Amino acid sequence: MRAGGVRYLDARYRRQRVTVELDGAHHRLVGQWEADALRTLHVLASARDEQLVRLTRGNLRHDEPVVAQLLGQLLR
């Protein structure tokens, strides 16, 4: 979270109440991983009926058809 409570999300689908966070390699570092876990809690606590999906860049690169299909189902 940035100063003033501003959050920058990778993708947010307001109508469907779905947030997608994309994790690159630096998210594997312990400090970043812990910050991501807390960020997830912040996002979900601020909107209780929000769904948060975490994907890796590897998911997008190697599993693109599956990711597209599943996200499509989720966003219907």
* Interval 1-22: pLDDT, tens: 556 666 688 999 999 999 999 9
pLDDT digits (tens, 9 = 90+) for 52-63: 999 999 999 999
Query: pLDDT tens, 20-40?
Result: 999 888 888 888 889 888 988
Confidence check: pLDDT of 76 > 80: yes
In this predicted structure, what is the pLDDT of residue 47? Answer: 82
Looking at the predicted structure, is the pLDDT value of residue 45 above 60? Answer: yes
Is residue 2 within 8 Å of 8, Cβ to Cβ? Answer: yes
CA-based nearest residue to 19, from 73, 76, 71: 71
Kindly tell me the sign of the dihedral angle through the C-alpha atoms of 27, 30, 31, 37: positive
